[in-house]
Amino acid sequence: RVAVVLVGALLAGRAAAATYDWSNGAGGAFATATNWSPAGVPTSIDTARLSLDSTYTITFSNLATVNTLVQTLGDVTFDLNSATFRTTNTSSNILGAAGVTTTLRVTDGSFRPSNLILANVANSTSNLVLDTDSGTVVGTGTFYVGSIGTGNLTVQNGATLSTSSGAALAVNTNS
């Protein structure tokens, strides 16, 4: 009976959403629990936060789904290796923080944010580089380039950007 109660308590505890911070400044596999703090891989109810002030690559080998993607620091490459990364949150996937420049590069796979906001804070610069054989489809939310700060979008080397039905692309022309 004790084992059953313990397993039930552990499963019930995981039902709450968590924020996982990438913690490996050398890069590594998205699906490796020790690359995140707290240890564990973010899931469709969680926030994946990229907050290291360094340059690194996160590799993927399978579909990865998180609720929310947030980048507050760093120059990060998502090497999707023909896999798909997607978010389920339609309003809070944000790249950028005040006083810093962030860059997210996406290569070789399918990047599917439900929405995405580049530079959502004053005095921020956020770069999104869609590169080499990446296909990005914005879901039903809005894709803002330079929402409040300076946003830069680069689509190059065979990458594509499209929107799903109900999605919109917005560019701030007031900065």
* Residue 70 near residue 97 (C-beta atoms within 8 A): no
* Residue 159 near residue 108 (C-beta atoms within 8 A): no
pTM of this structure = 0.88
Helix and strand element counts for the chain (H, E): 1, 17
pLDDT at 7 over 80: no
pLDDT at 3 over 50: no
The secondary structure of the chain in percent helix, strand, coil, rounded to multiples of 5, reads 10, 45, 45
Higher pLDDT, 15 or 70: 70
Collapsing DSSP to helix, strand or coil, 97 comes out as coil
Give the span between the Cα atoms of 123 and 119, in whole angstroms: 8
pLDDT at 8 over 70: no
